[in-house]
Structure 1
Amino acid sequence: MAERRATSAAESVPDDWPARPELSLALNRMGCFDWDLDSGLMYVDPPALGVLGMTADQYDGHPSSLGRTLPTTETARLDAVVSQALKDGSERYSTYIRVRHEDGEQSWVHTQATIQRDGTGRPYRIIGIFRDAPGEPGGESGRPDLAEERIRVTSVVERVTAILAHARTVPDVIDVLNDARALGHLGLASVILGLVEGGRIHIVAEGQLGQPIPEFDWTGIDDPFPMSEVVRTLKPRFIETRQDFATSYPVLWPHLDPLGVSRAAYLPLIAQGRPIATLGLLYKDKEGFGAEERNLIVTLGTSIAQGLQRAMLFEQEHDLAEGLQQAMLPRRIPAIPGTHIAVRYRSARIGRDIGGDWYDVIPLPGGRVGVAVGDVQGHDTHASAVMGQLRIVLRAYAAEGHSPSTVMARASIFLHELDTDRFATCAYGEVDPPTGMVHLVRAGHIDPLLRHTDGTCRRLPLAGGLPLGLSAEFRRLEYPVTTVELDPGETLLMCTDGLVEVPGADLDDGIQQLTQIVRDGPYDIQQLAEKLCAVVEDRGGEDDMALLLLRRRGTDVPQSSGKLQQHVAQGDPDALSSARHMIRAALRAWGAGERSDDIELVADELMTNALLHTDGPGVVTVRMLTGYERRLRVEVEDTSSALPRRREAGESGVSGRGLLLVDRLADVWGVESRGGGKVVWCEFVCPPRAAGQTSRP
């Protein structure tokens, strides 16, 4: 019975059993080679050539000809492995290499060999195998190239995460993605970043390392693109073959094929459970994605998503803060005849980028202009809100015609009565461009600077008073007025301490440095303002900055050739007579010519109105303004805040014709509020003086 079972088993064995070694090798995609180091010839059997993607007629017996199917990097790495084994006395070596096939695809091949040496240890022969190794289990742990790649990808993730920690805006994140030093070690052909906006994907960065990918700037989430797919599914998409690319995305593939893209990874960038963007990583000569590499790439996407979310939130907060700040500042700067004005505001770029610094330019009656620069304590929305209220109040007090000291005192009282614990520093000046006179007051603020026409710059020391709010609390509302004369071409500079604060230095040193910068700066005040802003940005201080520059123009500013003034009291006919004589003398001295009668008549009417319709005295001022034309100006100031009104006089009436007379005879006239009173003024264009006439009475 046992004999029959043995005979039956023997009859079932194939004729070629056991298989010959060459058959076993061929069936398992394995071949042999024998390398004679002395002659340099290497025998490679047909199965081994098949594993390497070659035929017998393509191989000439020299190892160098094997390089036609190996990428250059793989040839260099294999040579390094073999050379190291020969030098260090090893008996064997083993490594994985990539092989490039005719269709462009790549595959992994494992090679191992035994090194034969003579009695002296000199290597003379290498006998080994080439074996096809497609995704074999545990193969990655024995592949030095994958270990190196794992280290490289990990270092890229760490580096990008560290860099993104400092990215504050979306352009900063894009710069990181476009920086070859950040992502270049991943071997990428291109990086594409698309932001999810309004149900569509907006491509904002592409072509980081290679040629740009001509994908549409805007694509729909339902479109047949990989970026759209990962946004819909919220899952990464790894594309490992060119065939997969061509089949899955036929619309996109014709644009990628000429660029040599063979692999890609597309990631949804998710923040707080929703996709905010999508990232595409495109590769050339890239093998498949291992499990660990996929995890690292997903980790990289998470870091980029977090950095992008921070940047988006920062930009939203910054836009809100900037909008609030700009709403609190003047929307436009008025054109003041006889002056050039430049203003700037720069935030400290910390926190909410908002603060209490402000500037203002206030047109005043008679061609004068008020200029203010201030700083409310704090860097938050409350400081900005207080600043807005204080700026408007100060502007209103100035426009009412109050003196600079009164403007400052009333602003301090307002801030003290406001429901806030903030105080403010401020510098305010009233400039008269025709005469160049500037009246300045200071409330705990830094002194302004004056730049002369020759470029020299000096500090204007002002006596000053306590900051706004504090002076009212301590009942010390005195704000001394300092008067300076601004010559044509000279520039007044007013700023907040954000422009002069230097880390590690006191305020005086900062003002000295500012003086030097202004002295060496450009003449044009707009360019000078930009230069000062650049200094602040380079310094990177922790305070915002407001800047105001005012230059008095030199050629077309009406210049005062003289001024005469007379005080006229109620019930004093002698004073009224003296005022009339003063006006006649001025007209003769200044050569008013044929306008003399009109001027005398109008001036007499204004003086009479002031005495009849008010309870206090009047002040008559006559001055000649010269420049682009000669104009004689008559001003009558009284203590009544009631504005004059035109009235229709009856046929037999004697009252109500005064303002009609002024309007008919004067070239221009108007009324200015002056604190508790007003000034009624008029101007007459006068012909040039005749030769020999004097310019002063």
Structure 2
Amino acid sequence: MTVPKRPARRGYDPRVGPVPERGRPPEAEIGPGERLSLNGMGSFDWHLDDQTFELDAAGLQVFDLDPEEYDSRPESLVLRISPEEGARLDYALRRALQAGDRGYGGYFRITRRDGTKQWTHTQGTILRDPRGNAYRIVGIVRDATDELTQAPDMQPGPPPREPQAIALVVRQTIEALSRAVTVEDVAAVLTGAGGLDRFGADALVLGLIEGGNLRFVGASGSVIRGVGELPPRRLDGSLPLGEAVVTQQPSFATSLAGLVERFPALRTYVAAMPDVHAAAFLPLVAQARSIGGLALFYRSGDVLTPAHRELCAALAAIVAQSLQRAILFDREREVATGLQAAMLPRDIPRVAGAGVAVRYHAASSGREVGGDWYDVVTLPQNRVGLVVGDVQGHDTHAAAVMGQLRIALRAYAAEGHPPSTVLARASRFLAELDTERFATCAYAELDLVGGSVRTARAGHLGPLVRHTDGRTGWPNVRGGLPLGLATSLNLQEFPETRLDLVPGETLVFCTDGLVEERGLDITIGMEALAEAVRDGPDDHEALADHLADNLWERWGSQDDVALLILRRDPDPGTPRAPRMHSYVHQADPEGLADARLALRQALEAWELPGLADDVEVAAGELLVNVLLHTEGGAVMTLEVLPEPVRRVRLTVQDRSSVWPSRRSPGEAATSGRGLLMIDALSTHWGVEPRGDGKAVWCEFGPAAQRSLLG
């Protein structure tokens, strides 16, 4: 069988390949990179770990960059991209990375060397490791000017808006406004990065209707800076924006001179805007009702094409819907925050012997209302009750439940019940409220005379303590289940913990919004709070401001925060009879060494360094005896007694009712010599009852016996 010959293709020789047609020059083979380059498309390779952004030759051409001026760092692209465009691209990328998306893309404008604006499109594929962490992005960049403008002779400034460009800008605006919750948020979107670009305008002014007036809530653009502050204006048709709002009809002006003839009241504003030659006045209408107006200003009237006017109308409708939601939200939030404020105590009582500071901070998201609260309750016999709590939820119902629970808990405390009973009764009260909410709470009762603290907690953080030497610590406060939940499960046990607060020490109570951030371990926030308290000022009010300024901003204020600080007044004595106090916690391994150092420093400051060795040895013996043989810590006091001769007295107080006894240990005994050493080192010593425990004291002075260390 004979196979027929196939006719040779024109311009192709089966023996040698392509053959140039007569009259056409020979062409080299076009590779993939050249194909992309011929279509104005380049590629990039972005390594996220070392932050290198590699562009091929075509990609450099898209950005109008020379190879020698680009150092493969993404920061270098700011030569071509404005901060507004960069912020928008960064947001799109961050959202894609956090959402686990496979890719991202977007349109943006760059400024070429000759000053012209070029629409550019980027599309990237995100590469992730097995754990889902992004480590590399590979993609393309291309010149999209023709696609979006269909105009080869594009001049500097906003390009004409074709249908596909209008859809793109509308999507971007909807996306930006979707995160706006309040009227302030909406105004920030319009006046912030990229706001003017969405409208292709050089300036804008946003106003809302309030009681027959148009109140201006936002303005942006350098061409209207000479106008100054805009006071509210009556909606009487004296200004074009007011007329647009009243008639619900947009108006466009390509000559401001003509506007002044119709609206004489506009003359002052036009004189302050010499660079403005065109304007658009758009009513903001939602559900057939005008809620405000938007004025756009332009340097050139050529921008106001039919397509651009269509874009302005579409964006105004989107802004109106967002503002309507924001206005309703602000009204509801005003009611909620008013309820929250009414539920918190109006005045904090003055506490003799201590300073108290409170702060409440609403969340920056949601309705900015919740169930966090604080309270200070004056009690008989120089005692004071301290309360911090948090009802589940962030709504008006949480605030209402909080108000009822706060009053009930305050009443139980005022009846004189111990902390464990106060929390148990509050839990029963909450369980009987016919609500599904539970609450966490910490309650402490402080004796202002002796400094003893009885505290209990229900699923809440215990107090943070700052000692007189600046050290901070979280005492191990035992706790029970949250209020309400404990009663439902019949587990109403709220064990008490005993602490001591010496003069000059500070208690810090807070709700979890101050130390907890979503996605992070709460211990990170607790360490940050301890550090901020340690480095903060001594004064209780100044310390509260310090914590608010540093921690609320750090966590982004995503949750309500209640803060209560109590600092017991310092007791330094007098210049002739100075005094110092320190508390050594049983669970603090460094407390003993810190106490000895504090003693030596105090004696040196009082010009009694010769007594330091004896006092330090005696203090060590007394403190170790408390820490080993009792169930709590020790309060140590060192004071100068100037009469009849100048001497010092060391006192160590504990809660044990067992008095020490002097023994005669044998030669092989390893303990039992503590009081013998005290007797040998001091001139006098003794034991006396103190509160529910005892205090061992000893004095040192010129008549003391020879030091055992001498």
How does the TM-score come out when normalised to structure 2? 0.55
SS at the partner of 2:265? coil
- Once the two structures are superposed, residues 495-531 of structure 1 have per-residue CA deviations (whole angstroms, 9 ceiling, x without a partner) of 2222222333444444334323322333333343334
Does the residue aligned with 1:235 lie in a helix, a strand or coil? coil
1:191 equivalent in structure 2: 204
SS where residue 375 of structure 1 aligns?
strand
Task: Give the SS at the match of 2:504.
Answer: coil
Judge conservation of contact 2:371–2:392 (CA < 8 Å) in 1. Answer: yes
Matches within 5 A, 1:303-314: 303-314=318-329
Q: CA deviation at 1:404?
A: 2.1
Residues in 1 aligned to 2:425 and 2:477: alpha-carbon distance in whole angstroms: 19
Name the % identity. 46
Q: What do the CA deviations read for 1:530-558 (whole angstroms, capped 9, x no partner)?
A: 34334244324754322211111114999
Structure 2: runs of 5+ lacking an equivalent: 1-110, 119-148, 580-710
Aligned to 2:655: none
8 Å Cα contact 1:371-1:428 kept in structure 2: yes
In 2, distance between residues paired with 1:385 and 1:288?
A: 54
**Cα deviation per residue 1:137-196 (whole Å; 9 max; x = unaligned)?**
xx9978645993327877665544433332232233333333364205766453222211
Q: Which residue of 2 aligns with 1:255?
A: 269
**1:149 is matched with which residue?**
160
CA distance in 2, matches of 1:405, 1:216: 59
User: Which of 249, 254, 271 is the matching residue for 1:235?
Assistant: 249
User: What amino acid does structure 2 have at the position aligned with 1:502?
Assistant: E
Q: Does 1:547 align with 2:563?
A: yes
1:405 alignment partner in structure 2 = 420
- Which deviates further from its counterpart, 253-262 or 177-186? 177-186
**CA-to-aligned-CA distance 1:113-157 (integer Å, 9 cap, x gap):** xxxxxxxxxxxxxxxxxxxxxxxxxx9978645993327877665
1:337, 1:557 within 8 Å by CA — same for their partners in 2? Answer: no
Match of 1:252, SS?
A: helix
CA distance in structure 1 between the aligned counterparts of 2:388 and 2:505, rounded to whole angstroms: 19
1:88 is aligned to: none
The reply to whether residue 354 of structure 1 matches residue 369 of structure 2 is: yes
Q: Aligned partners of 1:379, 1:217: CA distance in 2, in Å?
A: 36
Question: How many residue pairs are counted as aligned between the two chains?
Answer: 428
Alpha-carbon distance in structure 2 between the residues aligned to 1:337 and 1:557: 17
Is 2:186 the partner of 1:170? no
What CA distance in whole angstroms lies between the structure 2 residues aligned with 1:243 and 1:507? 63
The answer to whether 1:515 aligns with 2:530 is yes
Distance 1:380 1:220 in 2: 36
- Alignment CA distance shift 1:142-1:325 (3 Å): same
Q: Bigger shift: 497-506 or 383-392?
A: 497-506
The answer (yes or no) to whether the contact 1:240–1:288 under 8 Å persists in 2 is no
In the TM superposition, residue 452 of structure 1 has moved relative to its aligned partner by 0.9
Q: Given the alignment, which residue of 273, 297, 300 partners 1:282?
A: 297
Q: Is 2:506 aligned against 1:491? A: yes
Flag the 1:499–1:254 CA change in 2: closer, same or farther, 3 A. Answer: closer
Deviation of 1:358 (Å): 1.4
Matches within 5 A, 1:82-101: none
CA contact (8 A) 1:179 1:208 kept: no
Match in the other structure for 1:213: 227
AA aligned opposite 1:550: L
Work out the CA distance in 2 between the residues paired with 1:195 and 1:294: 22
Task: Report the Cα distance in structure 2 between the residues aligned to 1:259 and 1:536, rounded to whole angstroms.
Answer: 41
2:522 & 2:211 partners in 1: Cα distance? 50
RMSD of aligned alpha carbons:
3.4
Q: Distance in 1 between matches of 2:364 and 2:356?
A: 25
Q: How far 1:197 sits from its partner (Å)?
A: 0.8
Runs of 4+ in structure 1 over 6 Å off? 139-143, 151-155
Decide which of 320, 323, 328 is 2:338's aligned counterpart: 323
1:244 aligns with 2:258: yes
Distance in 1 between residues matched to 2:158 and 2:277, nearest whole Å:
22
1:530 paired to 2:545: yes
More moved, 162-171 vs 449-458 = 162-171
- For residue 417 of structure 1, the aligned residue among 410, 428, 432 is 432
Determine if the alignment matches structure 1 residue 338 to structure 2 residue 353.
yes
Aligned match of 1:17: none
CA distance, structure 1, for counterparts of residue 187 and residue 322 of structure 2: 11
What's the counterpart of residue 632 of structure 1?
none
Structure 2 residue aligned with 1:378: 393
Superposed displacement of residue 259, structure 1: 2.5
CA contact (8 A) 2:458 2:483 kept: yes
Cα 1:479/1:214, change in 2 over 3 Å: closer
Corresponding residue for residue 223 of structure 1: 237
Change (3 A) 1:531 1:271: farther
Q: Secondary structure at the match of 2:450?
A: coil
For residue 204 of structure 1, the aligned residue among 209, 212, 217 is 217
Instruction: Give the alignment partner of residue 440 of structure 1, picking from 455, 461, 466.
Output: 455
TM-fit CA distance, 1:346: 2.7
- Residue type of the partner of 1:148? P
Question: In 1, Cα distance between the equivalents of 2:552 and 2:228?
Answer: 41
Residue type matched to 1:374 in 2?
Answer: G
- Give per-residue Cα distances to partners, 1:23-48, cap 9 Å, x unaligned: xxxxxxxxxxxxxxxxxxxxxxxxxx
> Which is higher, the Rg of structure 1 or of structure 2?
1
Secondary structure of 2:570 counterpart: coil
CA distance in structure 1 between the aligned counterparts of 2:188 and 2:564, rounded to whole angstroms: 35
Asked if 2 retains the 8 angstrom alpha-carbon contact of 1:439 and 1:481, the reply is yes
Cα distance change of structure 1 residues 421 and 287 upon mapping to structure 2, 3 Å threshold: closer
SS in 2 for 1:337: coil
Please say if residues 206 and 213 of structure 1, whose CA atoms lie closer than 8 Å, have aligned partners that are also in contact: no
Change (3 A) 1:198 1:295: same
Point out which structure has higher relative CO (alpha carbons under 8 A, 6+ apart).
1
SS in 1 for 2:206: strand
- Name the CA distance, whole Å, in 2 between partners of 1:173 and 1:374: 34
**Deviation string for 1:628-664 (max 9, x for gaps)?**
xxxxxxxxxxxxxxxxxxxxxxxxxxxxxxxxxxxxx
Q: In structure 2, do the counterparts of structure 1 residues 270 and 369 end up closer, same or farther at CA, with 3 Å as the change threshold?
A: same
For residues 476 and 560 of structure 2, the distance between their equivalents in structure 1, rounded to whole angstroms, comes to 23
Is 1:366 equivalent to 2:381 in the alignment?
Answer: yes
CA displacement 1:374-416 (0-9 Å, x = unmatched): 1223333333222211111110111122222222222222223
What SS does the corresponding residue of 2:264 show, helix, strand or coil? Answer: coil
User: CA distance change for structure 1 residues 278 and 365 in 2, over 3 Å: closer, same or farther?
Assistant: same
- Structure-1-length-normalised TM-score: 0.56
- Distance in 1, matches of 2:152 and 2:526, equals 67
Cα separation, 2, equivalents of 1:495 and 1:407: 19
What SS does structure 2 have at the residue aligned with 1:462?
coil
Contact 2:390–2:441 (8 Å) recurs in 1? yes
* Change over 3 Å in CA distance of 1:185–1:439 after alignment to 2: closer
Using a 3 Å threshold, how does the CA distance of structure 1 residues 458 and 551 change in structure 2: closer, same or farther?
same
Gaps in structure 1 of 5+ consecutive residues: 1-72, 81-138, 562-697
The alpha-carbon distance between structure 1 residues 417 and 156, as it changes in their structure 2 partners (threshold 3 A), is closer
The answer on 1:295 being equivalent to 2:306 is no
The answer as to whether partners of 1:195 and 1:277 remain within 8 angstroms in 2 is yes
Aligned partner of 2:689 in structure 1 is none
> How far, CA to CA, are the matches of 1:216 and 1:381 in structure 2?
35
Q: For the residues of structure 1 that align with 2:335 and 2:356, how far apart are their CA atoms?
A: 28
Equivalent residues of 1:262, 1:284 under 8 A apart: yes
